[in-house]
Chain A
Amino acid sequence: MSDTSEVSEPTFGRPKFPSLVHLATQTISRHLTSLEDFGQTPYHLMEPILKRMNAKQLSSMEEKSPHIVPQSDRLWSQLIEKDFPDRPHTADVFSRTKPDATPYRTLYHKYVTEREAFRQDSAKRLRRITQQLQNKKSENKIITVSGILKDPTIKRRTYSSPRGSYGRQTALNKSSILNKARRELQGRNLIFSRQHVKPYSAYDAFK
C-alpha cells in the first residue's frame, strides 16, 4: 500500500483524502481568535492560518515567533490591499534611502500613522468649520436690544446744552411732540430700509 493522502499523479475528478496536516490547519483556523502563540512552528505550516489574521493578530504572532518575520512580509501586502484599498500597495512606489527587510510591513505602518494623523487633523478642521458656521449664524441672529441704536457712521449734530441767552428749549424739552415724532421717524428709518417712494403725481394714471 503505497498510497499516501497526497495524490501525486493528476486525478481529475477524484478528490483527495484530507490529510492530517489539512485537518489540523482547519481546526486551528476555526479557533483563530484563541490562538496566542505559534512557538517554533515553521512558516510554511503557519502561512494558511496567518493569511486569515488581521493586522493586530499578525503583529502579535510576529512578536512571539520572530523567525517568521522575513517571510511574513508578503502577508502585509495583502493586509494593505484589504485595509487601505485607496492607497498604492506596491512597496517600490516609495523610494527608500536604506534597504528595508520588511517593505510591506513598514508600508502598512506608515499608512496607519498617516491615517491617524489625518483623522486627528479632520477633527480639528471639523471643529474649526463648525465654529465658523456658528459665528456666521450669530451674525444674522435676531436679538433683543434695550433701545433703538442709532447708526454711528452718520454724523449727527448733537444738541448741546443751552448756548448763549436763547437756549434751546426744544432740546431740553425732550418730551415735546415734535421731537417725539422726529425720534419715532428715525427709529422707523433704522428698522425699515429706505424705500425710494415716488412722490405722488396725478398724471401717473395717464402714462
Chain B
Amino acid sequence: MDTSGAYVTLVSADNHKFVVLKEVASISSVLRSTQGFEEGKTGKISLDMDGDILECVVEYLYYHYKYKEQAESGAIPEFHIPTHLALELLVKADFLDI
C-alpha cells in the first residue's frame, strides 16, 4: 500500500475508496490543505459525500489535470454530469473549491 507515495486515498461516506495522485487531488485547495493533516496517517482523506458523487469529483479532477493547459485553445471534450447528481455535486464542488 502506498502510504508515503504520490497517491492519496479519498474515502466516501459510504466507504468507497478512490486512489488518486496527490498532484491531482491538490487541484482542490481544500484537499490540498487536508492532505497536510493526513501526513502522519494512512494517507486517507474521509469526505462527507456519497460514493457516486465522489466518483464524479475524482473524474473531474483527472479531467482538469489532463486538459488544464489546453483550456479553450484546443477543443476540450465536454465533461458530462449525470443530471440526478448535479445538484449535490454543485454543493460539494463548492465545498472543495473546484
A18 on interface, CB distance cutoff 8 Å: yes
Point out the residue from B27, B60, B81 that lies within 8 Å of A27, measured CB to CB. Answer: B81
Cβ contacts under 8 Å, A45 to chain B: 90-91, 94
Cβ contacts under 8 Å, B29 to chain A: 4
A25→B94 CA distance, assembly (Å) = 11
Q: Is the interface on chain A under 10, 10 to 19, 20 to 34, or 35 or more residues?
A: 20 to 34
With A4-B97, A21-B93, A45-B91: A27-B71 Cβ-Cβ less than 8 Å: no
A41→B79 CA distance, assembly (Å) = 23
B28 touches A4 (CB 8 A): yes
B87 touches A28 (CB 8 A): yes
B86 touches A24 (CB 8 A): yes
Chain B: interface residue total (CB-CB under 8 A)? 25
Point out the residue from B79, B87, B90, B94 that lies within 8 Å of A18, measured CB to CB. Answer: B79
Cβ contacts under 8 Å, A24 to chain B: 81, 86-87, 89-90, 93
Would you give 15 A-B contacts (Cβ < 8 Å), ordered by A?
A: A1-B26, A1-B27, A2-B26, A4-B98, A6-B97, A14-B71, A20-B93, A20-B96, A20-B98, A21-B90, A21-B94, A24-B93, A27-B81, A28-B86, A31-B83
A residues neighboring B (CB under 8 Å):
1-6, 14-21, 23-25, 27-28, 31, 34-35, 38-39, 41-42, 45
